[in-house]
Amino acid sequence: MPKNLTILVIAFLLTSCATNSPECMGPQSKNLDTAIDAAQTALINGCHAHFDRYYDDLLSIAEGDPKPENKRAFSEFLVWSSDEGLLSKRQAQEYYNRFFNVKFMTLKGDYNNCSQTCPNKRKVLLDMERELSDKEQGLLRVSLDNEGYYRADQLYQEVELVLEATCTACSAGRR
């Protein structure tokens, strides 16, 4: 009886080892294409919960070899992630545009500025500032798109000014 129990325990331990989640190590290569391949393999083998970390790792690797073509590599990686069902299409767009587009995803919204943006102006501007920092990484440090980053920075300043005026005008209308 104790012998049978030992066999059962060993069998249980072996099964539990087999179903353990993988280690989900970050990509080791400093080459972006190789790193993307490694990340893709890990992501479809149970590491999808660590998507954010993999994306950050890939950005850091790309910073080591910045070039305009990196934009395409990230776009294709995100389209693949969406096709594999790791991300929704909306999430993929959010990841791409937040880092590689001039437009601010923070400014997504369906209601008018007086009712939606103005009451949360400080938070909106703070979120934009954070997004600008991501754009600095994506546009400037990963893709060498200086012009794009400069435009995003300019857009941030313009939105700040226009929102200040618009929100003052909105609140004056309520007085």
Partner 1 sequence: MRNAPNRAPTIPFESARKRSLHVALTAILIAAAILLSGATASANTPTIRLFPTTVVEDLKQTGNVARDMETGLQEIIGRLDQQQQLYIESKCDGAEDDSGCQRLARQIGATYLEMLTVMEERLPDMEHTVNNTRNSLEKGLRNELGKKMTPWTLQETLLGSKASASEVTASPTLRGRSGMRLSERFNQYYQLVATSGAKGDQSLAVLASDIYLDMEETSLLIQRTRQEIARATLMEQLNQSFGIITPEMIEVVGGVKSILFGDADAVPGVSGPPPGAIEQAYRSPLEQ
- Kindly list the residues in this chain that would bind partner 1 in the complex (CB under 8 A): 68-69, 71-72, 75, 78-79, 92-93, 96-97, 100-105, 107-114, 116-118, 124, 140, 144-151, 154-155, 158-159, 161-170, 172-173
Nearer to partner 1, 18 or 172 (CB): 172
Q: Would you call 70 exposed, middle or buried from its count of C-beta atoms within 10 A (0-12, 13-18, 19+)?
A: buried
The neighbour count for residue 27, using CB atoms within 10 Å, is 21
Q: Which amino acid is at 117?
A: T
Q: How far is the CB of 118 from partner 1 (least distance, A)?
A: 7
Q: Residue for token digits 């590689």?
A: 100
Nearer to partner 1, 37 or 160 (CB): 160
Nearer to partner 1, 12 or 150 (CB): 150
C-beta separation of 103 from 131 below 8 A: no
How many Å apart are CA 120 and CA 6, to the nearest integer? 63
Q: Work out the widest C-alpha separation in the chain, in whole angstroms.
A: 86
What does the H/E/C string look like for 40-90? HHHHHHHHHHHHHHHHHHHHHHHHCCCCCCHHHHHHHHHHHHHHCCCCCHH
* Of 137, 71, 98, 99, nearest in space to 107 by CA: 98
Q: How far is the CB of 20 from partner 1 (least distance, A)?
A: 34
Q: How far is the CB of 43 from partner 1 (least distance, A)?
A: 17
Q: How far is the CB of 99 from partner 1 (least distance, A)?
A: 11
Nearer to partner 1, 3 or 111 (CB): 111
Nearer to partner 1, 56 or 83 (CB): 83
Q: How far is the CB of 7 from partner 1 (least distance, A)?
A: 54
